[in-house]
């Protein structure tokens, strides 16, 4: 095998053979194939695509590059969830303890934010003492004793994907559907969960801007999971508007705790319960009521045990940014649009996200929303509050927020899109 022939095959719209795929993934992981060569292959895949057999083999090769986890010793069925990323998407935080409170075990391997999309681990690290890095033994212990764990994937899990994702991020090939699907599913299949629910975001704040691309991605991932023996379902959900009323790390933790306490924004509660029902059904648990588990405090109990088991203090005060800036409504009327992407970029520029994986984030930075589409606002009323430790970033963030909202005349009828747009199974 040689990498030039593999690149040329896909450049010329050919189908990569199983042997070519196995070789190139292994060779790249070992450093035999250079970054610039894999970049060329990734771009060829972005432009020319892959068929289902190629994607399945590519995924299998990435799984084979590392270890596979085993949760067969647990007394509960396992169910996991993955989101393709959005703005204000704190759903994993209340969802994992909620599903655990209903009887499933939730081994949630999560990631960090990059660009305008937030990362679950960055959010949880705003809790004093909380640790994202666990050994496999520690992860299994937390899962066995609390029912849920949220942590970083270990270096041994699909190392080919870890290396390839970093390359895709700096070569303009993140959006390649075959590479997105194989990246997500290689980790989830190697993780060893028995069932998986995918939250595929659609809209300005998502990687998939239109529903046709989102359906293609969802079908591809559901097929990969099913072919590997993992019961897999996907929900297509709206990401044209931020989820909830916060975008930022500690801000989103605070809002998640409100949901676990029986309150919180209606859209966050609705999507959390919808995904919980799908996860429980996929795990074979038919008689649980997620809404009841939120109301009676049992999900909150699991949250507190889970945070404490990973070194965090669930009673500690969350970080608060040193500086705030309020954006007010320029006129009275009905808020009809609040663009998720603009809010996400604004929060990122305030310090809630990173431009490179090694950059630090500010725990207290982000944007707090005071109105959502459909709400009536008056001139001068606060629309959003910007939070940061570095006030020199306010102008940079405000530039990202220009043109992100529309206000129509009072009395204008507004109909919000449903949160769940489609289901793929």
Q: Which residues are catalytic?
A: 82, 161, 168, 183, 187
Long-range contacts of 383-387 (CB under 8 A, 24+ apart): 383/327, 383/328, 383/329, 383/335, 384/326, 384/327, 384/343, 385/324, 385/325, 385/326, 385/327, 386/324, 386/325, 386/326, 386/327, 386/346, 386/350, 387/248, 387/251, 387/320, 387/321, 387/323, 387/324, 387/350
Query: What distance in Å separates the CA atoms of residue 111 and residue 136, rounded to the nearest whole number?
Result: 16
Query: What distance in Å separates the CA atoms of residue 237 and residue 85, rounded to the nearest whole number?
Result: 11
289 phi/psi in degrees, rounded to 5? -120, 100
Compute the residue count for the chain.
425
41 phi/psi in degrees, rounded to 5? -65, -40
Neighbours of 412 (CB within 10 A): 13
Report in angstroms the alpha-carbon separations of 184 from 30, 151, 191, 244.
Answer: 21, 16, 11, 25
CA pseudo-torsion sign 205, 207, 212, 216? negative
- Beta-strand pair 106-110/148-152: parallel
Spatial neighbors of 253 by CB under 8 A, at least 6 apart, are 90, 93, 123, 124, 126, 127, 318
List the end-to-end C-alpha distance of the chain, in Å, as a whole number: 38
Which SS3 state, helix, strand or coil, does residue 198 take?
strand
Query: What distance in Å separates the CA atoms of residue 294 and residue 287, rounded to the nearest whole number?
Result: 15
Paired tokens of 189: 């299949």
Instruction: With both helix axes pointing from N to C terminus, report the angle between 18-30 and 52-64 in degrees, rounded to the nearest 10.
Output: 40
Which SS3 state, helix, strand or coil, does residue 272 take?
helix
């Amino acid at each position: 095998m040689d990498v030039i022939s593999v690149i040329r095959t896909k450049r010329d719209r050919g189908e990569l053979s199983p042997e070519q795929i196995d070789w190139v993934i292994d060779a790249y992981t070992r450093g035999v194939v250079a970054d610039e060569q894999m970049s060329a292959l990734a771009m060829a895949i972005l432009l020319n695509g892959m068929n289902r057999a190629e994607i399945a083999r590519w995924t299998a090769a990435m799984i084979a590059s590392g270890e596979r986890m085993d949760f067969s010793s647990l007394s509960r069925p396992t169910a996991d969830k993955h989101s393709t990323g959005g703005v204000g998407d704190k759903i994993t935080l209340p969802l994992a303890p909620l599903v655990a409170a209903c009887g499933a075990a939730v081994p949630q391997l999560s990631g960090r934010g990059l660009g305008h999309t937030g990362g679950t681990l960055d959010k949880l690290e705003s809790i004093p003492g909380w640790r994202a890095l666990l050994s496999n033994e520690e992860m299994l212990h937390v899962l066995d004793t609390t029912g849920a764990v949220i942590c970083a994937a270990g270096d041994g899990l699909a190392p080919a994907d870890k290396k390839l994702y970093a390359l895709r991020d700096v070569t303009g090939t993140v959006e390649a559907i075959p590479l997105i699907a194989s990246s997500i599913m290689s980790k989830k299949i190697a993780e060893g969960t028995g069932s998986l629910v995918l939250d595929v975001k659609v809209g300005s704040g998502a990687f998939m801007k239109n529903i046709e691309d989102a359906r293609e991605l969802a079908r591809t991932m559901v097929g990969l999971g099913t072919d590997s023996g993992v019961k897999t379902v996907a929900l297509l959900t709206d990401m044209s508007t931020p989820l909830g009323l916060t975008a930022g790390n500690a801000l989103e933790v605070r809002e998640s705790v409100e949901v676990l306490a029986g309150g919180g924004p209606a859209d966050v509660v609705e999507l959390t319960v919808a995904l919980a029902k799908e996860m429980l059904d996929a795990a074979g648990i038919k008689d649980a009521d997620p809404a009841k588990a939120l109301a009676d405090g049992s999900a909150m109990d699991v949250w507190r045990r889970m945070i404490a088991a990973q070194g965090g203090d669930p009673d500690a005060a969350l970080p608060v940014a040193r500086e705030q800036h309020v954006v007010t409504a320029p006129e009275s009327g009905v808020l009809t649009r609040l663009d998720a992407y603009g809010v996400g970029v604004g929060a990122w520029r305030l310090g809630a996200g990173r431009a490179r994986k090694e950059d630090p984030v500010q725990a207290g930075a982000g944007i707090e929303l005071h109105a959502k589409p459909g709400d009536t606002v008056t001139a001068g009323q606060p629309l959003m509050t910007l939070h940061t430790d570095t006030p020199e970033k306010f102008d940079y963030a405000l530039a990202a927020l220009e043109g992100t909202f529309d206000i129509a005349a009072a009395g204008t009828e507004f109909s919000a899109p449903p949160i769940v747009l489609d289901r793929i199974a």
